[in-house]
């Protein structure tokens, strides 16, 4: 099992997480995968699959072709750069990997011609070593995602485990578990280092400081206006003992976005359907709270930054 693949022999080394991200976002499924270091063909596992996230997408080798010595399917890490164990938490009786970083989306493409590679499997150990060393700078195969959905669903798994624990152990012990668990899960939001505890919050208090952007979560019933859809948050921000309402705002121009990707279309359709039927929805969004005429708004200017749970 390895976490690195390429779409051509000796092509750009890309993580299994990046392939999955591209698939979930744009329905792109590549025909062939190869080891970026020794060039053997690889089989994608749990990459091109909808459904439950959290399980580790990876590559495996065909029975008849193992990685060619000295390749083990990963870049060569020196002692100091060897990958740290990624966050793995036992939630709901299953071991899960959590997304560690929200990133801009990217398209995986052929970026260079296959070079110095002998696709017939007669590569020298030196050449393989050289490629693995060159890939050191890529760092460990982190679980990065451009989809808010992946982070929201992982967070929700922790919340549902919290619910079970509350019943079994009582509120105090469950709250302690929740706090520790969320604090222990790193979550970088577009290069700003946070954790699941301080990176995801309700709208009840306003984050301040140099980077007030957060992932906000909450519930509300969206309302369709002529030029926008507004989702009132059920959790107003408290300022000097006063409740100030908070709204998620999606303007008309976004609703008419011409080239909709499949993951965005789902969000938009859920939002439109809920606003037509006055249905309460659970939402996650990325942005910052800004004052506007006696209320706070979180303006959504791209579909990437809104996710509505089913």
Q: What region, left, alpha or beta, does residue 116 occupy, with left being phi > 0 and alpha being psi -120 to 50 degrees?
A: left
| Nearest distance, CB of residue 55 and Zn ion, angstroms | 23
| Nearest distance, CB of residue 223 and Zn ion, angstroms | 54
| Nearest distance, CB of residue 71 and Zn ion, angstroms | 3
| Nearest distance, CB of residue 127 and Zn ion, angstroms | 12
Name the burial class of residue 168, with classes exposed (0-12), middle (13-18) and buried (19+) by CB atoms within 10 angstroms of its CB: exposed
Task: Specify the DSSP class assigned to residue 6.
Answer: B
Measured from the CB atom, is 90 or 136 closer to Zn ion? Answer: 136
Measured from the CB atom, is 135 or 187 closer to Zn ion? Answer: 135
| Nearest distance, CB of residue 40 and Zn ion, angstroms | 6
Interaction site with Zn ion (CB under 5 A): 35, 37-38, 67, 71, 73
Measured from the CB atom, is 35 or 300 closer to Zn ion? Answer: 35
Name the burial class of residue 143, with classes exposed (0-12), middle (13-18) and buried (19+) by CB atoms within 10 angstroms of its CB: buried
- 258's tokens: 């011409």
Beta bridge partners of 283: 218, 308
Measured from the CB atom, is 38 or 297 closer to Zn ion? Answer: 38
Measured from the CB atom, is 120 or 242 closer to Zn ion? Answer: 120
Measured from the CB atom, is 11 or 54 closer to Zn ion? Answer: 11
CB 88 within 8 A of CB 95: yes
What are the two backbone dihedrals, phi and then psi, of residue 261, each rounded to the nearest 5 degrees? Answer: -85, 160
What are the two backbone dihedrals, phi and then psi, of residue 303, each rounded to the nearest 5 degrees? Answer: -65, -25
Give the whole-angstrom CA distance, residue 20 versus residue 195. Answer: 23
| Nearest distance, CB of residue 73 and Zn ion, angstroms | 5
- 91's tokens: 């939630």
């Amino acid at each position: 099992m390895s976490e690195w693949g390429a779409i051509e022999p000796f092509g750009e080394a890309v993580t299994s997480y990046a392939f999955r991200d591209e698939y979930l976002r744009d329905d792109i499924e590549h025909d062939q995968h190869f080891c970026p270091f020794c060039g053997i063909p690889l089989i994608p596992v749990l990459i091109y699959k909808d459904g439950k996230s959290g399980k580790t997408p990876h590559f495996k080798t065909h029975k008849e072709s193992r990685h060619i010595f000295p390749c083990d399917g990963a870049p060569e890490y020196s002692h100091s750069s060897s990958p740290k164990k990624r966050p793995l938490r036992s939630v709901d009786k299953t071991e899960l990997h959590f997304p560690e970083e929200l990133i801009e989306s990217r398209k995986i493409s052929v970026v260079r011609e296959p070079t110095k590679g002998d696709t017939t499997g007669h590569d020298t150990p030196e050449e393989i070593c050289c490629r693995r060393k060159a890939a050191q700078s890529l760092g460990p195969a982190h679980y990065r995602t451009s989809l808010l959905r992946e982070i929201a669903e992982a967070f929700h798994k922790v919340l549902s485990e919290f619910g079970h624990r509350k019943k079994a152990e009582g509120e105090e012990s469950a709250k302690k578990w929740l706090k520790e668990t969320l604090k222990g899960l790193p979550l970088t939001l577009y290069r700003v280092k946070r954790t699941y505890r301080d990176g995801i919050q309700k709208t009840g208090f306003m984050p301040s400081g140099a980077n007030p952007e957060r992932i906000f979560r909450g519930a509300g019933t969206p309302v369709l206006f002529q030029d926008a859809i507004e989702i009132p948050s059920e959790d107003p921000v408290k300022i000097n003992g006063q409740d100030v309402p908070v709204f998620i705002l999606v303007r008309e121009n976004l609703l008419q976005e011409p080239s909709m990707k499949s993951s965005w279309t789902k969000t938009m359709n859920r939002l439109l359907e809920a606003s037509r039927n006055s249905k309460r929805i659970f939402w996650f969004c990325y942005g910052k709270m800004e004052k506007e005429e006696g209320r706070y708004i979180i303006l959504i200017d791209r579909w990437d930054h809104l996710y509505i749970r089913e």
